[in-house]
Amino acid sequence: MSGGIAQSEGGPLRLLSRDEVYQIHLASLEILQRVGVMADSPEAVKILLESGATLDRQKSVVRIPENLVQEAVAKSPRAFTIYARNPQHDVRIEQGVTHFGPMIGRKYILDLESGNRRKTTLSDVEALTRLASALEDYTLPHSGVLMPHIEGIPDPVAHVHAYLATVRNSEKVVKGTARGRREARDCIRMAAVLAGGEEELRQKPNMFTTCNVISPLRLGCGMTEGMMEYARNRLPVDIASEPQAGATAPITLAGLLAQQNAEILSGITVAQLVCPGTPVFYGTCGSIMDMKRGMIALGSVETGLINVGHAQLARYYGIPSRGTGGASDAKTLDIQAGYEKAMTLLMAAMAGINYIWYPGTLDEALTVSLESILIDHEICGMVKRALRGIAVDEDTLGVNLIQSVGPSGSYIGQRHTLLHLNEKEQYFPKISERRSREDWESAGSRGLHDVAKDQVRRILKEYEPAPLDRTVDQELGRIVKEIEKERMRSSSP
């Protein structure tokens, strides 16, 4: 089973007191009861009203009472497992463990050879997936299946082509789309083939999805109905909100957290009403709007602060959290990209977020880069080492050793040094430069970006995931062709 990194009590970084977390919780309940949420899905409205919510027809909003929310939280599992086609990559989601996953599907990609930005193709999705699959610290990669547009593929069938490309190029967990009811059913149908049947899929879910609540306070029709399909099949759902402070949420971070919390809880309530016990992530993509430029700022320090508060609220509810880290607003892999990625990844992980995505992205997460996925993997490795902290016991204190070596001695040849020469004590970077300047210059004076490019080329050349069972591969291919024929016919004028 793929392991995230365990941490004591969910992470050492705290910003909010217990009383402040409780104040945000109460504010969110008040928002849901007094303001309500706009629910575009008639089915979701019906489910909520039958369970005790009320409808303000004049404002077209549903007001959700406290008891419904509390019951939904109580029904949400505290831990769950997502299964991969290779059992070694099964992922256990639970409090106190952090997993990382790079973004695979973005509208644009930085071309590996030219460095120019262009639209992402299906072959790019294959390469991104294979690279992420080869890198050990990425246990839950994002997926091209979520892309509404893949260059060269008709939009109505982009998700099924991406699903097949993903399972052919990775042995890890697959992420599906909840972009609409029909798209969700397509993904679930294909996942059932991979699992060996519909009941097998329910028993051992091999796919999860994200449902984004629209800020402020709106459950969109397509995503909500897609999410409900996943819930009916007991597939994990990441209920997430993407507010921007000052634009789609209050500019104050406390106000953003209160609104975001209400949005997430409304989605979790719907999921648990559809199928009690549905595994859910408590998710955030919250950030700020740069009020000078009118642009989202995913690499901002405030994004890190939002993740910390979000992690504390998730622990209050006892629900696994999903947050963001590794994004940058930089347009190239420069110093800005480095410090924004490192800062947001470290803050989210130290806060105890259970699943962190956005590694690999640039340009407000509109663009992905193969080199960035590799470089960010190195940052994730450093973050994992930081999460392990400092072990203090008689052996690690080494008083007898220090006495034995004495003043002016050396620890290089000591047995204690050899025994502890492992990544529990020191992280060994794979691409970071630590040679002397003379050795670096004699080797060509190459920068990190060039080194990363070479490593990406090597991995894509050498890494081959185990092939799909031939029968499974053929059936998935048949389904893709069937759906493509149906959708292309229905979309013809």
H, E, C per residue of 302-324 = HHHHHHHHHHHHHHHHCCCEEEE
- Residue at token pair 């083939």: 193
**How far is residue 436 CA from its own chain's centroid?**
37
Please give the backbone phi and psi of residue 465, each rounded to the nearest 5 degrees, phi first.
-65, 155
Could you tell me if residue 45 is inside a domain?
Answer: no
Residues 177-194 pLDDT 10s: 999 999 999 999 999 999
Task: Reply yes or no on whether the pLDDT at 488 is more than 90.
Answer: no
Q: Residue 226 is encoded by which pair of tokens?
A: 């897609």
* Cβ count within 10 A of residue 134: 20
Could you tell me if residue 140 is inside a domain?
Answer: yes
Cα dihedral value 189, 194, 195, 199, nearest 10: 20
The residues, any chain, with a CB within 8 Å of residue 258's CB and separated by 6 or more, are: 24, 27, 28, 31, 250
Task: Reply yes or no on whether the pLDDT at 493 is more than 60.
Answer: no
Percent of the chain topping pLDDT 90? 95
Q: Residue 288 is encoded by which pair of tokens?
A: 């700020």
Please give the backbone phi and psi of residue 91, each rounded to the nearest 5 degrees, phi first.
-125, 125
Q: What is the pLDDT of residue 9?
A: 47
Cis amide prior to 154 (ω within 30 degrees): no
Task: Reply yes or no on whether the pLDDT at 43 is more than 70.
Answer: yes
Q: Residue 326 is encoded by which pair of tokens?
A: 């590794």
pTM, to two decimals = 0.95
Reported as a pLDDT band with limits 50, 70 and 90, residue 492 is low
Could you tell me if residue 21 is inside a domain?
Answer: no
The range of the structural domain enclosing residue 207 comes to 5-16+73-388
Q: Taking residues 50-63, what's their average pLDDT?
A: 93
Q: Taking residues 71-93, what's their average pLDDT?
A: 98
Reported as a pLDDT band with limits 50, 70 and 90, residue 3 is low
Total domain count, the chain: 1
Q: Taking residues 385-411, what's their average pLDDT?
A: 96
Task: Reply yes or no on whether the pLDDT at 27 is more than 80.
Answer: yes
Task: Answer for the pair 113, 371: CB distance below 8 angstroms, yes or no.
Answer: no
Bigger pLDDT: 199 vs 58: 199
Q: What is the pLDDT of residue 238?
A: 98
Please give the backbone phi and psi of residue 321, each rounded to the nearest 5 degrees, phi first.
-105, 150
Residues 97-117 pLDDT 10s: 999 999 998 999 999 999 999
Task: Reply yes or no on whether the pLDDT at 423 is more than 80.
Answer: no
Reported as a pLDDT band with limits 50, 70 and 90, residue 7 is low
- Residues in the chain, how many? 493
For residue 265, the domain's CATH number is 3.20.20.480
Q: Taking residues 116-122, what's their average pLDDT?
A: 98
DSSP calls for 71-108: HHHHHS-SEEEE--SSGGG-EEEETTEEEEE-----SE
Residues 223-248 pLDDT 10s: 999 999 999 999 999 999 999 999 99
List the one residue out of 134, 128, 182, 139 whose CA is nearest residue 158: 182
Could you tell me if residue 368 is inside a domain?
Answer: yes
Task: Reply yes or no on whether the pLDDT at 10 is more than 60.
Answer: no
